[in-house]
Chain A
Amino acid sequence: MRLALRLTATAAAILVCALSAAWAGGAGFGDDDDDSDEAGPSYFGFVRDSAGATVPNAKVTVSLKNRISIVTRTDALGTYKVPGFGREADPKDIEVSCDKEGYKQLRVVRRSSPSTDPKIPIETECTLQRI
């Protein structure tokens, strides 16, 4: 009987603490809400020249093997971003290439992320070399 009472009281205390923590809210400061994306991971990266400088307005092609390609251009910071190809698309089947007049593609390197969070884009850096 006493044991049952103690167990019940403990459970109630845990519940009260959990509710209090939820009421207290987060400790953040700002409205940096994270928009979750149901389309699978997006694809992001920099295009750089062989000296490491970013290359704006480079053409970037992101392809899902034998199915679909998205062509975009790097912005003023030399970055590109394309949305996900859906949850069923395996990131291993995604290929990135880059191009710009006066350059040739030198290498493409996928940067591994320490996180498996699907909201973190798959990051691939493309390096161009002046012809």
Chain B
Amino acid sequence: MSKIVSLIAVAALAILVSSPDRAAAQTQYGDANAQPAPFNPQMAALMSMLIQPRHAKLALAGQAENWPLAGYSLKELRQGFVVAARAVPRWKGLPVPDLFDAAVDQPLKLVEAAVKLQYKRQFDEAFGKLTEGCNACHATTEHAYIVIKVPGASAFPNQDFEAKR
């Protein structure tokens, strides 16, 4: 008797698993009826969301000598590094806080000093060192093909970076 029950259960399960409705709900992107999963961006996404645009905005603000905006952008960029390091403390086994510290801490301090002094030449030099730090970190983490540079144009057509009086 128990054998019959087991067979019925297995058959029911097989039908359930292979039902057309189930197959229709499931795509390569997941199941529309699934519970929302916690959002857990990894390093590549964090870099694209929190670091790369803020690096660009800081450059554009500095180029425009919009020092209040540069100060704000610098703070945001620093915070981006903190958030990324907390979210992914180790990346492929490597200690992310230590890598960030080695790559960008000194250049960020130099940028901060330039912003406070409102000294564009020093800002440009410090920003170049910051960008070098980004690329050095990419090389250390075997992503040397991701080359960051000082932006030549704005990627934010809906934001005015010029200083306001």
Question: Which positions in A face B, CB cutoff 8 Å?
Answer: 1, 4-5, 8-9, 11-12, 15-16, 19-20, 23-32, 34-35, 42, 44, 46, 54, 75-79, 81, 115, 117, 119-121, 123
Knowing A27-B37, A27-B38, A30-B43, say if A5 contacts B5 (CB, 8 Å): yes
Decide: B37 and A76 in contact? CB cutoff 8 A.
no
Decide: B139 and A75 in contact? CB cutoff 8 A.
yes
B154 contacts the other chain (Cβ, under 8 Å)? no
A63 CA to B44 CA, complexed, in Å = 34
Decide: A32 and B39 in contact? CB cutoff 8 A.
no
Decide: A79 and B9 in contact? CB cutoff 8 A.
no
Which residues of chain B are near A76, meaning CB under 8 Å? Answer: 132, 136, 139-140
Interface residues of B in 15-60 (CB under 8 A from A): 16-17, 26, 29-31, 34-35, 37-46
- What 1/0 flags go to B112-146 for Cβ under 8 Å of A? 00000000000000000000110011011000000
Task: Name the one of A23, A32, A35 contacting B30, with C-beta atoms under 8 angstroms.
Answer: A23
| B contact residues, total (Cβ < 8 Å) | 42
User: Which residue of chain A has its CB nearest to the CB of B37?
Assistant: A27
A61 CA to B1 CA, complexed, in Å = 70
Task: Name the one of B13, B40, B99 contacting A77, with C-beta atoms under 8 angstroms.
Answer: B99
Decide: A120 and B38 in contact? CB cutoff 8 A.
no
A9 CA to B10 CA, complexed, in Å = 10
User: Which residue of chain A has its CB nearest to the CB of B29?
Assistant: A25
Which residues of chain B are near A32, meaning CB under 8 Å? Answer: 42-44, 88, 91-92
A26 CA to B103 CA, complexed, in Å = 31
Task: Name the one of B41, B90, B91, B140 contacting A79, with C-beta atoms under 8 angstroms.
Answer: B140
Decide: B44 and A30 in contact? CB cutoff 8 A.
yes
A88 CA to B16 CA, complexed, in Å = 47
Decide: A46 and B30 in contact? CB cutoff 8 A.
no
Decide: A29 and B34 in contact? CB cutoff 8 A.
no
Decide: B45 and A78 in contact? CB cutoff 8 A.
no
